Amino acid sequence: MSYATPIDSIIGGEAAATLVLQIAAELEYSDRLPARTAFRLACETVADGNPRFIAAPGQVWVARPELAAGLLVSRFAVKRRDSYNTIAVVVPVDGPLAGVESEVELHDLAQFYELEAWLPIDPDLARPLANHPGELR
């Protein structure tokens, strides 16, 4: 699996590097991996767009072009994740189900969707920050 758009062009090179380092630290700690192995896996995880590690509030995911016709929801925003890293609570941003909250398994997210945008969330307002490079265009 890979992105249609590289993550650094969605969130910027510095933020992508920070994300890789955070994931590497998590893998090193939680899976007790050697630092070099954790870093390599983190790089692969980010390059592959693995939602188990990168799905986060403020993201917009879009159906993979080859699968879009068969899916009820073609585009949605991630609202939050469960504490077990298996489910994301999402809200479709267009179509007949726009605004209706539902759950998506991260495994399904990986198979059918790809990251389109990542809007940083203002923790006080619980909404995307304005004028960020990841804004929807």
Round to the nearest angstrom and report the end-to-end CA distance of the chain.
Answer: 25
- The helix/strand/coil state of 129 is coil
Identify the architecture of domain 53-123 in CATH. Roll (2.30)
Residue 39's pLDDT is: 96
What does the H/E/C string look like for 90-122? EEECCCCCCCCCEEEEHHHHHHHEEEEEECCEE
Q: Are 119 and 59 in contact (CB under 8 A)?
A: yes
Can you tell me the distance from the alpha carbon of 93 to that of 61, in angstroms, rounded to the nearest whole number? 10
Cβ contacts of 9 within 8 Å, gap of 6 or more: none
Could you tell me which of 10, 12, 123, 19 has the C-alpha nearest to residue 61?
10
pLDDT digit string (tens) for the chain, length 137 residues: 454 578 888 888 888 888 899 999 999 999 999 999 999 999 998 988 888 888 888 899 999 999 988 888 999 999 998 878 889 999 998 888 888 999 999 998 889 999 999 876 544 434 444 444 444 33
- Type of residue at 56: A
Domain ranges of the chain: 1-49, 53-123
Q: Where are the beta strands (DSSP E) in 1-137?
A: 59-63, 75-81, 87-92, 102-105, 113-118, 121-122, 127-128
Q: Are 109 and 55 in contact (CB under 8 A)?
A: yes
